[in-house]
Chain A
Amino acid sequence: MNQPVRVKTLKIDDRDVSGREDETILEVARQNGIFIPTLCHLEGLTPIGACRLCLVEIKGVSRLLPACVTRVEEGMEVYTQSERLQKYRRMVLELLFSERNHICSVCVVNGHCELQSMAQILGMTHVSVPYRFPRLPVDASHERFVVDHNRCILCTRCVRVCDEIEGAHTWDVMGRGIDSRVITDLNQPWGESETCTSCGKCVNVCPTGALFEKGKPVSDRQKKRQFLPYLTMMREERR
């Protein structure tokens, strides 16, 4: 445990900042009040770099790198706001919207959705690629919760929180690429799941209306996420 902490110094958007060697660009940026958009990332869960919304430019590196899974390095020069990044971030969002059926006006979390507010924050006013309009199921077999695959963006927050925090590992991902889908147990109806403890963690970390609680008014759909960093911290202390 008691190894010396090494500190790296770097620049983000021309500002001098520093971070521990095991910290990511995203963590250091947030500590310094620099905004980098994210969707799959959630403090308290293992970062996986799935959504690519947090892409940043690094001087001397031709590829764009995801800030949530890229460690800070000495002398790094990171840019988070270039025209090029804004363009790609909007493109990522447009692809997410076009892939499934995100109809905000009839969604249970309208007004409390991270995808919806990200579109607004990043100035996306329409989707310039053709919508796919896939035919997707809704599973309401669980006595308290519903999964609506039309709204899922495959961020896998539900998968990670159920595995890493609740320890049930009810959720997983099935299929490949655009046909991927989150499943409960071995693709059984959620209501028949033997592993699910009905704790509701997955519902609360889901950024969209893909997972929601039955019988709650729309005005009451604010997701509660404060518990996450706390639970992670307590677990780590006990290790």
Chain B
Amino acid sequence: MSKKRIATVWLDGCSGCHMSFLDMDERLIEVFQQADLVYSPLVDLKEFPEQVDITLVEGAVSSEEDLHKIRMVRERTKILVAFGDCAVTGNVPSMRNPFGAKATLQRAYLENVTLHPQVPREAIPALLEKVRPVHEVVKVDVFIPGCPPSAETIFLALSDLLADRMPDMAKLTRFGA
């Protein structure tokens, strides 16, 4: 059996989900006996590869860049996994939604700053008006709730997916877990 190709992507999240991924500790060896990690913030690769079997997406869709990235990832991925509450519900990043992007930038870059208050306009992607969970933007195949999902949850879900089974997530985790 040829090894599966897996990837992880980081949109608007705190990286806690990736930390939890690393928390699988020695079980990472078990995972990577069955799969190659072909793209991730954990490996040094610039381009998202053409064909990926399973991609875990951490974080919500928050900026123009996130939107662009997730659409490209979706096209190149067989099974797209919303990885953690930010990807599944919008979670913490979405707490700006009741106020809108403008008020958020104002609060962060103007109201709370004493030295050179200014909203950056260059080299960083523009915020979308509203933060969205991943499945509101592209089709998602598997949802792993949790903030972050535990290493155990990630391991069991990945094991199922690598064996071509759909994991029963409600048994393993919940929102906010």
Q: Footprint of B on A, CB under 8 Å? A: 97, 101-107, 110-111, 116-117, 119-128, 130-131, 133-136
Contacts and interface: CB of A to CB of B under 8 A. Distances in A.
A103 B89 contact: yes
Interface hub of B88, B94, B99, B176 (most chain A Cβ within 10 A): B176
Given A104-B85, A125-B170, A126-B143, A116 B176 contact: yes
Interface stretch (B4-12, B31-39, B113-121, B129-137): B129-137
B95 interface: yes
B88 A126 contact: yes
Interface string B67-101: 00000000000000010010011111011011100
Given A103-B94, A105-B91, 13 more contacts: A97-B89, A101-B94, A103-B92, A103-B176, A105-B92, A105-B176, A111-B176, A116-B175, A117-B174, A126-B82, A126-B88, A126-B143, A127-B133
B147 interface: yes
> How extensive is the interface on chain B, given as a class?
20 to 34
Nearest to B170: A123
B59 interface: no
Interface in B126-166: 130, 133, 135-136, 140, 143, 145, 147
9 contacts: A97-B89, A119-B175, A125-B143, A125-B145, A126-B88, A126-B135, A127-B89, A131-B90, A135-B98
Given A126-B143, A133-B130, A120 B174 contact: yes
Contacts of A133: 94, 97-98, 130
Task: Please report whether the interface of chain A is mostly helix, strand, loop or mixed according to DSSP.
Answer: loop
B169 interface: yes
B136 A130 contact: yes
Contacts of B95: 101, 103, 106
Contacts of A97: 89
A104 B148 CA distance: 12
A66 B135 CA distance: 31
A58 B30 CA distance: 50
A103 B140 CA distance: 20
Given A123-B170, A125-B143, A134 B92 contact: no
A29 B85 CA distance: 35
Contacts of B147: 104-105
B176 A134 contact: no
Contacts of A125: 88, 143, 145, 169-170
Contacts of B82: 126
A120 B171 CA distance: 7
Contacts of B135: 126, 128
Nearest to B145: A125
B78 to A, nearest CB: 19
B97 to A, nearest CB: 4
The 5 closest A-B pairs by CB, nearest first: A104-B176, A105-B147, A133-B97, A135-B98, A123-B170
A104 B98 contact: no
Contact of A134 (B85, B98, B175): B98
